[in-house]
Amino acid sequence: MVVRQDYPANAIALAAHLCGWLRGEGLVALANPETAARIGATPVSENELMASADLMVVLGGDGTLLGVARHICRRSIPILGINLGGLGFLTEATTDEAMATLARVIEGDYEVDRRIMLEAEIEHGGAAGRTDFIALNDVVIVKRPVGRMLTLEVAADHMPFCTYRADGLIVATPTGSTAYALSAGGPIVFPNLGVIVLAPICPHTLSNRPVVLPDSFELEVRVNVDDQGAILTCDGQESAPLTSSDVIRVRRGKYAVALIRSTHPYFEIWRDKLRWG
């Protein structure tokens, strides 16, 4: 069980209630030592938690779930997200639904959405080695706060695609289409479609609009940056600096994240979260 790091009182109370119910069902609730002491779970290290859990219950917002998903995607552990944050596109179950939803899952009455992930590889020019990342929402190349506009040369499926002059570029999964890419004017994509979204951030050329490409395409990005540099970020939580000699490759990842579906249809979630009425 994972609880948002700042431990809001409602999260602790709900997690303790869920742990008590699990013990009553003859099941073992695991959590990291600091959290376990407050919710009555069995304390284990973070690595042990990720390696031995059969179900991951995440209490928090989408950011909390994104961090967990990157750690456990290799095991395809189903994740039940309970929303304690803001929008909650990924943590769909409400606190009022948490108990009933968990009981239904324990009984095996649930469906799983397998959400694609992205792999990002930075090949460092002029230096040995490379840096690898994975992301559930998006991979973003952006200028530093005081940097100038970037020039980004993009190849798709090993063919020249576009040269952007912009503040940055977002490469998003369907899951991430309702995150940063949406703010950049990108489309909302049905979660299980096999596509990726490219959305330039504040492009200099107004005809540079977001595009949707097959997720079988590998993207290669070369960034021409000045001495202020640029940054690559994954899910807004991990980052690495970029130089003009670096080559960034983004592709569909080997692993998928198994999200337990709530009883709410996607269209209902969109209407609710985006206030469509």
Q: Return the active site residues.
A: 62
The residue type of 92 is: E
Return the DSSP state at 93.
B
Report the alpha-carbon angle 3-140-112, nearest 5: 45
3-class SS of residue 64:
helix
Helix (H) or strand (E) holding 101: helix 98-106
CA 273/CA 106 separation, integer angstroms: 27
Cα separations in angstroms, 6 against 111, 169, 200: 30, 31, 33
CA 242/CA 235 separation, integer angstroms: 17
Return the DSSP state at 205.
S
CA 210/CA 199 separation, integer angstroms: 4
3-class SS of residue 100:
helix
- The token duo for 243 is 């130089």
Cα separations in angstroms, 157 against 50, 89, 152, 221: 34, 30, 16, 12
